[in-house]
Chains A and B, each alone.
Chain A
């Protein structure tokens, strides 16, 4: 079947999509967006996390046809122009990336958290990232990265609202 949907704000079409294949397969193999990773294909690791209509989901568990007409946001969409976005920057600075396989999923999950919760507690961070496995870092640096991303988000919000007030 032919699949049309929006990816990172761009209208996309994929042809000859098999109805039973996952959104993850479509993104990686048909649209050339390999940012979302395929590790378990059973919802356990979170490395394939994408936004589906603004809500984080495991792309490996979304049937291709279910994405028709929907908006998908991938890790590629978190970049700002040719540079890194703020959440990505925080992961680099905090040293939260080792092999990097878990990173794309963690970035989407973190982006969602810092958008929803202005000052997440450590417990909230752990809970929000409970569906993302990392086999390298031991998570401490990831926690640092999320705290950094949240602080930056909060201060950029503050300066933005400061400007409107002035």
Chain B
């Protein structure tokens, strides 16, 4: 096995171009499990942890650019106030040891339907920046996932960053599992209010072969809120609106039965999570319509 250890992004892209079958390794929290259990024997490993710029973030034109190699712990500490939905999700990943190493880039490239980073990225309309020696592409996150553990990267491409707008309204994330730490989600739901665009964003995890948005639910709720003038003068939501939102979220799902749960339970739970998180974000919005979504008690 070769071990490639570029110290600059340029060298990493060249290494990937010359060794298209090399397996990138960032935090190793997915890759090493597979190697330890002999589920994967890469011909070469391309270590991305020697590239400092990949583990950094910056702000351009009102958007945050999060390097693919930024560990969750730093994302939570350094960006949690501006990306509350993603931070809530990141706090549920594994354990402190896993969050100290695991990255958003690794989460995306593993493309598990249960990846906890994905639903908040969907709800915020994030874009994935992928790069090769041939150039850079910016993909809406929903176009990045092409199937169970499959993604849109070409063999010479690496994920360089995620572009995401800081929250302009309340955001929430909900995850069902058997304990608070160290669980692969039974299912997850993320919601983000975008008052400046009068839109609601959603993201569902472990609900279908790929993470996905509940587009009908987004359309319905955004329309209801706009038609009733609720963005400007928010009032408590009608039960019927909340129920319809939950039903549409559940209807967007096409989950499976597996060792963690049944399809029926997942569908039911997604509706419940959608109603609940909508209640939370709407309460927050009513109390602080101009807040950045920062949880009051955090």
Contact = CB atoms under 8 A, between A and B. Distances in A.
* Mutual binders A and B: yes
Given A62-B28, A63-B25, A130 B181 contact: yes
A131 B95 contact: yes
Given A58-B98, A63-B25, A66-B47, A19 B1 contact: yes
Nearest to B42: A20
A101 to B, nearest CB: 17
Given A61-B28, A66-B49, A131-B96, A19 B3 contact: yes
A73 interface: no
B32 A60 contact: yes
A49 B25 CA distance: 19
Contacts of B182: 44, 130-131
Interface in B230-273: none
A49 B97 contact: yes
Contacts of B180: 130
A20 B29 contact: no
B260 to A, nearest CB: 15
Interface string A18-50: 111010000000000000000001111010010
Interface in A1-20: 1, 18-20
B interface, over-half SS: mixed
Contacts of A66: 25, 28, 47, 49
B27 interface: yes
B152 interface: no
B36 A42 contact: yes
Contacts of A58: 29, 97-98, 101
Given A22-B32, A43-B98, A49-B97, A65 B3 contact: yes
Contacts of B42: 20
Interface of B: 1-3, 5, 25, 27-29, 31-33, 35-37, 41-42, 44-45, 47, 49, 73, 94-98, 100-101, 180-182
17 contacts: A1-B3, A20-B1, A22-B36, A41-B33, A43-B94, A49-B97, A55-B73, A56-B96, A56-B97, A57-B97, A58-B98, A61-B32, A63-B3, A127-B96, A130-B96, A130-B182, A131-B182
Interface of A: 1, 18-20, 22, 41-44, 46, 49, 52, 55-58, 60-63, 65-66, 68, 109, 127-128, 130-132
